[in-house]
Amino acid sequence: MTTKVAPILFGEDYQHRYFWIQAARLFMEDDPAEVVYLEHPIIQAFDDVVAVNRIPLYSHDLRQIEVDHYQLKYHVDGRETIRAFDLSTPSFIGATAHSLLDKAYAATKGGDIPKRLTLVTAWRFDPNDILRTLVSNNDGEIITRKLFESGTEVAKVRETWRADLGGVGDDELERVLRHLRIWDNMPMYRVKQDVASGLALAGMIPPSGAEIDDRYIGMARGFIESGVREHRRDSLRPLLEKAQLWRGRRVRSASDPRDVAIKSFSRSAINLEDHAATLNLVPDFHGRYKAMEVDWGRDLAPRIRDFLDARITDHGAFDLYLDAHLSIAYLAGYLLGKTDADVAPVQREGRVVWRRTETSVPGELWTVREEHVGDGPGLALAIEVTRLTAEDVRIYAAKESPGIGRMLVFTITGGAGPTSVQGADHAWALVHDLGQLVDARRTADEREAPVHVFASVPVALAYLIGREGRAFGRSITYEFDFDNRTPGGYTPAFHLPLTA
């Protein structure tokens, strides 16, 4: 594969996978999607995937949305960030004359339309650029009121965007921007995960990592080659059955576990609210970053506790979906560690329920080493399951002096990696063993101080560690700056137990 061909193929795969994310909605019981198009050139630059709703949805500004148009951009160059001026730069979308804003303006030139125009990209917002503050974390819409505030930087962006549209006035610019959404930080691996989750819930057989050729991508290419652009549930299902990719949706009975969800991340393959009682914390965050006015303990913890108290009843069975920060998953486990309910976390990748079967897991589960990283009485746990964390914890302890003296590094046997946890029983065994090792190695002085929890783990495992964490006494969870990958880039989140 040449360097010139590879980006084209990756871009096509990105588009085709996103098509299946939307196509899966056709088979969801309560989803309003009625028709999904693959390459539907009604609106140029927003024609990769188009979803038509049988009943209108409401946009952020309460317009009724009949159609969602998606443009997929899988850039493979090294910058990997979006800046405000990119929206008025034709080359950003691979064009020579017209920018993304030009295309949005052309689509809405006759006035408001009952459509949303969404850019989906693997890139993330440049953390040092003003665009990051102009795009809402609620649904990716442009926060137009901020665009028209005073200030040199925002005025420069506003004037550049106006000039790109031929010198339109502020009212016209605001009207165009109301139709636009930007969904950033959707890398290929996340799209693959969302495809697998959506297809499984819709009744299809998700792609297998053991297969070299993804049959769903092959089908999408066949649709384009044959000119079949329009897809409905009744037309798509026979094709899936013929390809032996259809297994049907499982009918849930009254005795099945009930679905409960907490989300602080948005833009998944499925809308959790469609099938689970959901606590939506997305508006309290800007991507991975907590909003400035929001406090972990004061604002988030009581809402999570009240939600779980209301939804989880003793002796019941529940599947807990967590599209959330690791600290939120840990807190959920901590709070539910005292309940008699059977609560199983759902691992986000593949939507696999981690409910233990009591099958024993033989062999050593962790390799453990210790380091002295400071002069404080606190004990740090560097838990390495999906990636190595000890170096970042070491840097953070030296830089921030958070009262840590000793660090215990727990590395999963076999080495850290995205697939290092082999299912539910392995996960529960890991957590049980972790708790015993911490208890055995913690000194008397360390028991008087908080345990500092730095975990790089699957979100479902963070929940299980939180359940075990009730035995730690006082503890503090930390969030890592995954966007910038700053060495030692941790910030404290929840201080447990909760004080109110």
Distance CA 494, CA 476 (A): 6
Contact 316, 309 (CB under 8 A): no
Distance CA 260, CA 278 (A): 6
The number of beta carbons lying within 10 Å of the beta carbon of residue 280 is: 16
Q: Which two tokens stand for residue 299?
A: 């604002």
* CB environment 176-194: b (16+ within 10 A), e (fewer): bbbbbbbbbbbeeebbbbb
Strand order of the sheet with strand 404-412? 366-372, 404-412, 378-384, 451-456, 475-480, 490-496
- What is each CA distance from 40 to 26, 54, 405, 447, in whole angstroms? 17, 18, 60, 62
Closest CA to 118 of 18, 46, 63: 46
Strand order of the sheet with strand 277-280? 277-280, 258-263, 317-323, 342-347, 352-353
* CB environment 52-69: b (16+ within 10 A), e (fewer): bbeeeeebbeebebbbbb
Amino acid at 90: P
Closest CA to 497 of 470, 457, 478: 470
Q: Residue 364: helix, strand or coil by DSSP?
A: coil
Q: Which helix (H) or strand (E) holds 324?
A: none
Contact 317, 467 (CB under 8 A): no
- Residues whose CB is less than 8 angstroms from the CB of residue 312 and which lie 6 or more positions away in sequence, other chains included: 260, 318, 336, 339, 341, 343
Distance CA 166, CA 88 (A): 11
Supply the pLDDT for residue 268: 58
Supply the pLDDT for residue 1: 47
pTM over 0.85: no
Q: Which two tokens stand for residue 49?
A: 């995937």
Q: Which two tokens stand for residue 67?
A: 């159609």
Distance CA 324, CA 348 (A): 9
Supply the pLDDT for residue 484: 67
Amino acid at 405: G
Supply the pLDDT for residue 499: 84
Distance CA 312, CA 332 (A): 11
Q: Helix/strand/coil (H, E, C) string of 41-84? A: CCCCCCCCEEEEEEEEEECCCCCEEEEEEEEEECCCCCCCEECH
Distance CA 117, CA 143 (A): 15
Q: Alpha helix (H) ranges present in 337-455? A: 390-400, 424-441, 444-447
- Furthest C-alpha separation in the chain: 73
- What is each CA distance from 479 to 18, 402, 405, 462, 489, in whole angstroms? 29, 14, 20, 12, 8
- Residues whose CB is less than 8 angstroms from the CB of residue 11 and which lie 6 or more positions away in sequence, other chains included: 72, 73, 74
CATH label, 366-496, candidates 3.30.70, 3.40.50, 2.60.40, 3.10.20: 3.40.50
Supply the pLDDT for residue 7: 64
Contact 36, 49 (CB under 8 A): yes
Over residues 167-187, the pLDDT tens digits come to 999 999 999 999 999 998 888
Amino acid at 151: G
Contact 165, 173 (CB under 8 A): yes
Q: How many CA atoms lie within 13 A of 81 on its CB side?
A: 14
Each residue's pLDDT expressed in tens, for the chain with a length of 500 residues: 445 555 677 889 999 999 999 999 999 877 889 999 999 988 988 999 999 999 988 888 888 999 999 999 987 665 678 999 999 999 888 888 899 999 999 999 989 999 999 999 988 888 889 998 899 877 888 989 889 988 889 999 999 999 999 999 999 999 999 999 999 888 888 888 888 888 988 899 988 765 667 899 999 999 999 999 999 999 999 999 999 999 987 766 767 899 999 998 766 556 677 678 899 998 888 767 788 889 999 999 999 999 999 999 988 999 999 989 999 999 999 999 989 999 999 987 767 899 999 888 989 999 999 999 998 999 999 999 999 999 999 999 999 888 999 999 999 999 998 889 999 999 999 999 999 999 999 999 999 999 999 999 999 999 999 999 989 989 999 999 876 678 899 999 999 999 86
Distance CA 378, CA 491 (A): 16
DSSP state of 490: E
Q: Which two tokens stand for residue 389?
A: 């964390």
Cβ-based burial of 293 (10 A; exposed 0-12, middle 13-18, buried ≥19) = exposed
The number of beta carbons lying within 10 Å of the beta carbon of residue 222 is: 12
